[in-house]
Amino acid sequence: MRRTSPYGDSVVLKPDEFRLLRDLFVARTGLQFGAEARFALERRLRERLMVLKLPTFSDYHHYLRYGTQASAEWDEAIDLLTTNETYFFREERQLRAFQNEVLPILEVQARSRRRIAIWSAGCSTGEEAYTIAILLLQSMMFPNRGLPGEPPPWELRIYGSDISRRCVAAARRGVYGESSFRATPIEQRRAFFHERPDGWHVAEPIRQLCHFGQMNLLDEDRSRVLGRADAIFCRNVLIYFDARARKTAIELLYDRLNPGGILLLGHSESLLNVSTAFELLHLKDDLVYRKPLSANGAHRDSDGPT
Amino acid sequence: MSDAASAVRWLLEQGEPEARRVAVRQIAKVPGREAPELLLCALGDDDWRVRKEATLVAPGLEHREEVVATLVAALEDTVNIGLRNAAVESLVAIGPDAVGATIDALDRLDADARKLAVEVLGGVPDTRGTSALARALQDDDANVRVTAAEALGKAALAGEESRELATESLVAALGASDVFLKMAVLDSLARLETRLPWSLFAPYVDDPLLRRYAIAAASGSRDPQAVRALALATGDTSPTIAREALVALGEVIAEAADTDLLECARAAIGSTDAGQASARRAAGQVDDPPARGGGLLALGLLGEAGDVPALVNALGDDDVAERADLALRLFGPSAVRPLLAAARKAKPTVHAAALALVGSLEGAPVAEVRKALRAGLRDAAIEVLSCAVESLGPLGEARDLRRLAKLVWHDDERVAAAATNAVCELAARHVDAARALLRDARSGHDPLVLGCILLGAIASTQPLRDDDVRLLQRALSHDQPQVRRAAIDALALGGGDAAADAVIFALADEEHDVQLAAARALGRLGRAETLVRVVRDTRDPALTATALRALGDADPERALASAGPLVVHADAAVACAAVEALGHLRSARGSGRVSVHVAVGCEDALFSALDHPDEEVVKLSLSLVGAQPGARALARLGLCLDHASTEVRCVAAELLGQDNSAGARALLRARYEREKDQIVRAAITTAASIRPMAEVTGSPSEWGETLSAKGSSGEGA
């Protein structure tokens, strides 16, 4: 039984149009849409056709591909099609493993350069990046303010990137509602956020550590802007990608990690059948991936994942 | 041993796994017949990354026959389990070329190795493999038999012939005494989505071990008895069985072609309190979309007002929104009141989806719906406001025109666009009210904005007056592009030489949107000559596409003559524009506006586009060719299975899968045997596994009878 409109005048996403749009989205963003997503795609994108006064989804496909304002329209489409639901201290067990087991490893590896860079790839509205910043500060392993007679301070930097322009803007703003704190202990909320009429604001010492930018995980050139990271969080992002895009994104993440750098994926994600380039690192409570210390990080062609 | 082979062997003997992993990639560069030996060494490595890398390298090695022979021999290794598993994975990755040797080996391998060989055959969709697996159901070893039964569950990936063969042999094996084999058989029949009679599964429903599998296997059946059994099983004491039954029942409801089947399911689910409770529980489980979808549809069938909030809430979850929408439609008009009550308390996106649904719900009380939509106009949330405005377009009355007209100037572009559309629809239905509003608008602060919208709507139902045309001409020089565009649209609907002359100037407008509107308008006004010149002179792909499409409206013959040569244009964007226009033109054949001669010309031009060097042009053309396949199109789709681009091959496979004729399936099978790319192979197997329409719509009972007649003679091992 198909959904029908008695008026028969609404714009319908036909199968061939769905195929064209689906292929275009996966090629550009890596986001894959199975047949079951046709309804959602139609429902979410219909408003764009109305705004642009386009009669069919075929016209919208052409607009995205060749329209003079295509670049801006891609931002609109991505904002409509991506899921942005997240919260602070999500997947607490993994974060505990990161704080207790991964950070000490990174501290040893980065001790001589006294610089730690962590990338939250697919950061959505920024909760993950700020969570990482809080964990770094709480660990007390990386004092970032120098005192006379003590070793030079650490330089800490957390990058957050997302394909959605709207998400990146929200992350930069750093103001959150109640739903973002569903897993945040009250003492941490009080310590690292300030309540104001428009919501909870990230405290300045945390905000200063975090930098945000719009980035497509398939865009290798853009990713180079970030430099290399000691750890990358890419949780619950690859599940939305097709096999080809997943492989491309993993190659990019591998390339962007320092040797010995750690990749943390979501609990339902793995690199099985995607890449053999990472070593498995068994932690007490989690399993993460590590770029081999012996890997030459500069040239993927000779050394990257397959 | 060559220098290259020696170097790789030395690297493979290093203590550092990363060095060995990188060395594995060098195996492909080793010339001659030493590569298989090195591969074997890597497949037996202690480190999983090295073994995995070797399985990825294996399909790319030369001397494939020797590689396959080496790998098949490795299945017999009794010491290194890692090596045996890696050999299985490599053989599967090699694909059809590994099938013959694996089948040949079945007669000489021991039971453990035969089991692995059967796993290989299960991993490579191939008709030869399916036959061998069917024979393996009679193997002396119980493990081999069960593995073969499990493997046959994937046989549909090798096409319809394989599915039938697998189903037939599995049904025959149901007569076996081995309970584990029966489990595997039932599970595979479920995965094959067989449409068999309920009588085949009924004997196992009371068996505590087999009940779950029997219920799942019956999910494809559209036999009323099976539907009833599924509905009753939703109340099973085992949560697993209840879930399986709900998922299956959801599929039945979603695909039900006749009301009898729905009534049957409704009566059955209505008779089990436990089933209803299970459906209500599942309807709230956000972590299990298949069960949630089934639960929602079951609640839709039950039609109890108390369940509406759960259905409304699910409208906000993309994974099940379609099911929730369908469930509320199954409810019918009685859902409207509780639906609106629940929507008012829901978050804005859900509230908006609910308003859209009631606005299009068959038989819904219009007065009540209008009231809700008018209330939506006062909502603070943009999503709700926009949706209410959009839905009032087709449903509203004359008195709504004025309040919607105010929203044409709304700051949010979605609301403004929805209001413009709604005003057009209402004005076209209520011309007197539109004229009254127009008189007021003329004395307002900016008469042209609303005037153009209203006149466009009026022009679609009756001729414009002279002063109307003058107002529109004046609007063509308005400083806002959307006003100029609206004026052009209205003039196009009004028609006449004066309108056409005015619109032609808009082709030189500095705003791209206005140019496109002018091109569309000229098509409607029948100015073919001008459009031919636009196509010839412009380098803007979007304008080319619009002008070509407009030309199709004005003069299909000339549209074909202009677009045909452009499909091979070096600029892919221009070629795509031409392809799109031709597809659009060809699709108008059914309307009688386009002659057979032009339609055939369009098809020829689309075929020419398949030779374009840019794969985007080819994919677009392919998609349009595949939308209306005939014998000629089928042949071209088949040719595209050999295209150099893997993406083109995937699209061709998908389209052939949808065509699903015997010819299409033969083309897919032929390509599969030659295809080396694993992603394309996967696309082909997915396409080949789509069931032919004849079977879907045919009588399942007849089909099942044939099978059970065949199956009754079979005896399990």
**pLDDT tens-digit series, residues B421-443:** 999 999 999 999 999 998 887 66
pTM of the model: 0.81
Structure tokens at B324: 């929730």
Q: Is A114 a catalytic residue?
A: no
Percent of chain B's residues with pLDDT above 70: 95
Contact B534, B549 (CB under 8 A): no
Q: Which pLDDT band holds residue B85 (cuts at 50, 70, 90)? A: very high
Catalytic residue among A38, A162, A255, A286: A162
Residues of chain B positioned with their CB less than 8 A from the CB of A19: 623, 651, 654
Round to whole Å and give the CA distance between B359 and A4: 11
Specify the residue for token string 């489980």.
B285
Give which of A72, A11, A76, A20 is closest to B512, Cα–Cα: A72
Q: How many other C-beta atoms are found inside a 10 Å radius of the C-beta of residue B702?
A: 10
**Is it true that A15-81 and A92-303 share their CATH fold?**
no
Q: Which of A1, A40, A50 shows the shortest C-beta gap to B417?
A: A50
Coil vs helix vs strand at A152: coil
Give residue limits of the domains in chain A: 15-81, 92-303
Task: Provide the β-strand partners of residue A117.
Answer: A157
What is the CATH code for A92-303?
3.40.50.150
pLDDT tens-place string over residues B562-616:
999 999 999 998 999 899 899 989 888 777 778 889 999 999 999 999 999 999 8
- Structurally, chain B folds into a number of domains equal to 2
* A207 contact B CB<8A: no
Per CB-CB distance under 8 Å, the chain B contacts of A9 are 394, 425
pLDDT band at B688 (very low <50, low <70, confident <90, very high): confident
- CA B253, CA B263: separation in Å to the nearest integer? 10
- Whether B395 is covered by a domain: the verdict is no
pLDDT of residue A10: 61
Side-chain half-sphere of B378: how many Cα atoms within 13 Å? 5
**Which residue of B49, B425, B580 is in closest CB contact with A58?**
B580
CA dist B130 to A46, A249, B119, B156, B540, Å? 45, 36, 12, 9, 54
Strand pairing class (A257-265; A229-234): parallel
d(CA B345, CA B309): 9
What lies within 8 Å, CB to CB, of A259 at 6+ separation is A291, A292, A293, A294, A295, A296, A297
**Using one digit for the tens of pLDDT, what is the confidence trace for B257-311?**
778 889 999 999 999 999 999 999 999 998 899 999 999 999 999 999 999 999 9
Task: Give SS3 for A263.
Answer: strand
Residue matched to tokens 């607009």 = A63
- Cα dist. B517→A110, A226, B514 in Å? 60, 43, 5
With bands split at pLDDT 50, 70 and 90, how would you rate the model's confidence at B507? Answer: very high
CATH of the domain at B590: 1.25.10.10
Report d(CA B295, CA A97) in Å as an integer. Answer: 38
A212 confidence band (pLDDT: 50, 70, 90): very high
Model confidence pLDDT, tens digit, residues B188-243: 999 998 788 888 999 998 899 999 999 988 887 888 888 999 999 999 999 999 99
pLDDT value at A301 more than 60: no
Chain B environment of A63 (Cβ under 8 Å): 542
Check residue B692 and give its pLDDT.
53
Element (H, E) at B334: none
- Report yes or no: B150 at the A interface, CB cutoff 8 Å: no
Chain position carrying tokens 């750890």 = A231
Q: List, for residues B438-469, the tens digit of each pLDDT value.
A: 888 766 666 788 899 999 999 988 888 888 88
> The domain containing residue B604 runs over which residues?
527-628
pLDDT, residue B443, reads 64
Per the structure block, which two tokens stand in for A266?
A: 């979501």
Q: Which of B595, B610, B628 is the endpoint of a domain?
A: B628
Residue closest to B57 by CA, chosen among B99, B105, B89: B89
Residue with tokens 């007569």: B175
User: Residue B121 — pLDDT band, cuts 50, 70, 90?
Assistant: very high
Average pLDDT over residues B497-511: 88
B536: buried, middle or exposed (CB in 10 Å: 19+, 13-18, 0-12)? exposed
Query: What average pLDDT does chain B have?
Result: 89
Q: Domain end: B331, B356, B382, which one?
A: B331
| Yes or no, beta carbons of A23 and B654 under 8 Å apart | no
Determine the straight-line distance between the first and last CA of chain A, rounded to whole angstroms.
44
Instruction: State whether ipTM is beyond 0.90.
Output: no
Task: State whether the Cα torsion A54-A55-A60-A62 is positive or negative.
Answer: negative
Q: How many whole angstroms separate alpha carbon B22 and alpha carbon B1?
A: 20
Q: B318 — contact with chain A (CB < 8 Å)? A: yes
Residues facing A116 on adjacent strands: A156
pLDDT score of B703 = 32
Record: fold of A15-81: Chemotaxis Receptor Methyltransferase Cher; domain 1 (1.10.155)
Among candidate residues A44, A173, A189, A222, the one labeled active-site is A44
The helix/strand/coil state of A155 is strand
- Is residue B686 situated within a structural domain? no
Question: Is residue B592 domain-resident?
Answer: yes
For residue B627, give the chain A residue with the closest CA. A16
| HEC letters along B164-227 | HHHHHHHHHHCCCCCHHHHHHHHHHHHHCCCCCCHHHHHHHCCCCCCHHHHHHHHHHCCCHHHH
**Structural Rg of chain A based on CA atoms:** 21
Helices B224-233, B259-270: inter-axial angle, 10-degree rounding: 30
- Statement: residue A231 has pLDDT above 60: yes
Among B331, B346, B377, which residue terminates a domain? Answer: B331
- CATH code of the domain in which B236 resides: 1.25.10
- Is residue B616 a part of any domain in this protein? yes
Q: How confident is the model at residue B618 (pLDDT cuts 50, 70, 90)?
A: very high
